[in-house]
Amino acid sequence: MTRRNSTIINLEKLKEIKELRKVWPHEALNFTPWLAEEDNLTLLAEPWQQKPSAKHSVT
């Protein structure tokens, strides 16, 4: 969730945002607090937490 002027903005799973300033007008006041929330850190970390799987056996 993003707080902007006391408004909570719900973002979906990772997707491209072309106009970041509409979501986070000020990095320190809007983006940094959003990033510091545990749920958002977990959401951003998900793609890197997947363990690779071997499709073919290695000999």
Does residue 42 have a pLDDT over 80?
Answer: yes
| Residue 9 bridge partners (DSSP) | 2
What gap in Å lies between CA 36 and CA 40, rounded to an integer?
Answer: 7
Put residue 5 in one of left, alpha, beta given phi > 0 → left and psi -120 to 50 → alpha.
left
If you average pLDDT over every residue of the chain, what do you get?
Answer: 77
In a domain, 59, yes or no: no
Is residue 29 a part of any domain in this protein?
A: yes
Could you tell me if residue 56 is inside a domain?
Answer: no
Within-domain flag for 25: yes
User: Whole-prediction pTM value?
Assistant: 0.54
pLDDT of residue 3: 53
Task: Give the model's pLDDT for residue 48.
Answer: 77
Judge whether 36 lies within some domain. yes
Residue 31 lies in a domain: yes
Could you tell me the two tokens for 15? 């997707």
Residue 12 has pLDDT above 60, yes or no: yes
Segments forming the whole domain that contains residue 36:
2-10+18-46
Q: Which tokens sit at 19?
A: 């106009």
Instruction: Provide φ and ψ at 50, rounded to 5°.
Output: -75, 135
